[in-house]
Amino acid sequence: MRVLVTGGAGFIGSHLCERLLAQGAHVICLDNFFTGRRENVEHLLDFQNFELVRHDVTEPIFIDVDQIYNLACPASPIHYQYNPVKTVKSNVMGAINMLVLAKRVGARVLQASTSEVYGDPTVHPQPEGYWGNVNPIGPRSCYDEGKRVAETLFMDYHREDKTDIRIARIFNTYGPRMAEADGRVVSNFIVQALRGQELTIFGEGQQTRSFCYVDDLVEGLLRLMAAEGRHQPVNLGNPVEFTIRQLADEVARTIGREMRLVYQPLPQDDPTQRKPDISRAREWLEWEPAVQLAEGLEKTVAYFRERLRLDRARHTPEPAPRELSAG
């Protein structure tokens, strides 16, 4: 099985590449390294059935593969708002190029969509049949609407050309290899806590999120790709809901210190509630998350603690050699 993973050097993509290699697949990891990091996949370079290709999904490419996981797109607000036009192009042109490739070589193709297609939801929890409440001209719309258009393209290619598609709506995911400066709440809290800083909470901290550990998410992606005839979107996320303030308390407990909190205004269009209805994933894939937040945070904190230690070591100058006296 030859498998292409776009965005394969990213947080989720690198974990997916690992699992695919463990299953015996030949993996082609494609990334332009805008947000992906070579170090995420360096440990895979010695595998004979692993290839790393530097390429931007907004440009066409031909690779003969059996499956395509299209994960390529900045996923944190800091990154996708940095260049919103590029974000839209990554979503739309990236989807078109991967669909054209899938059609040409007869591959099954999975689109990594997002819970952001639901916007600031008026239905809670969010089932796949909910059409969402998205601001089409706001600062987040480059990502939200870009992902919605990508879903449209996938369904149109399926209806018109019988392309074998899968659509995963990914809810908040966390774990090792998250970037420490990507602006996502789990990495923000952990890095601030480990550095002895105040935890930044937007609004009053009563907005809710559901946090899925990366290993569970990858298992869901693999099961969705393997499922036959499942062309409708599928929510993949943890249905256990936490307020942001509760998450701050969990991070403090994991690290073992009291935290000072600082409050800032809520960003525009930031969802007030986020919780997946995973009935479809349970029925179609026999999937649901197994890792509880406390366990996942322990592993994620350990990763960031080591990463920050290595960063400090790299930036600490060597002591100057002492001169010996002639006496």
On the question of pLDDT at 296 being above 80, the answer is yes
The average pLDDT across 160-187 equals 94
**How high is the pLDDT of residue 269?**
77
Per the model's pLDDT, the better-predicted residue between 289 and 181 turns out to be 289
Q: Quote the crossing angle between the two packed helices 293-315 and 244-255, to the nearest 10°.
A: 60
Which two structure tokens, joined as six digits, stand for 135?
């601001």
Can 143 be counted among the known catalytic residues? yes
**How high is the pLDDT of residue 270?**
80
On the question of pLDDT at 230 being above 80, the answer is yes
pLDDT over 90 percentage in the chain = 80
Which two structure tokens, joined as six digits, stand for 252?
């403090």
Structural domains in the chain, sorted by start: 2-174+213-238+275-290 (3.40.50.720)
Reported for 86-91, long-range contacts at CB under 8 A and 24+ positions apart, including other chains, are 86/34, 86/58, 87/142, 87/143, 87/146, 88/142, 88/145, 88/146, 89/58, 90/57, 90/58, 90/146, 91/143, 91/146, 91/147, 91/149, 91/150
**Active-site residue identified among 143, 157, 174, 213:** 143
pLDDT-derived band at 83, boundaries 50, 70, 90: confident
Window from 6-10, 32-36, 67-71 with minimum mean pLDDT: 32-36
**How high is the pLDDT of residue 319?**
55
Window from 64-73, 157-166, 171-180, 306-315 with minimum mean pLDDT: 306-315
On the question of pLDDT at 110 being above 70, the answer is yes
On the question of pLDDT at 298 being above 80, the answer is yes
The average pLDDT across 178-185 equals 86
On the question of pLDDT at 184 being above 50, the answer is yes
Q: Please give the distance of CA 132 from its chain centroid, rounded to a whole number.
A: 20
Per the model's pLDDT, the better-predicted residue between 77 and 322 turns out to be 77
**How high is the pLDDT of residue 145?**
96
Which two structure tokens, joined as six digits, stand for 213?
């550990």
DSSP 251: H
Q: Summarize pLDDT for 204-214 with one digit per residue, the tens.
A: 899 999 999 99
User: Which residue bears the tokens 């639901």?
Assistant: 118
pLDDT-derived band at 316, boundaries 50, 70, 90: low
The average pLDDT across 298-302 equals 97
Window from 34-38, 163-167, 215-219, 283-287 with minimum mean pLDDT: 34-38
pLDDT over 70 percentage in the chain = 96
Helix (H, G, I), strand (E, B) or coil at 10: coil
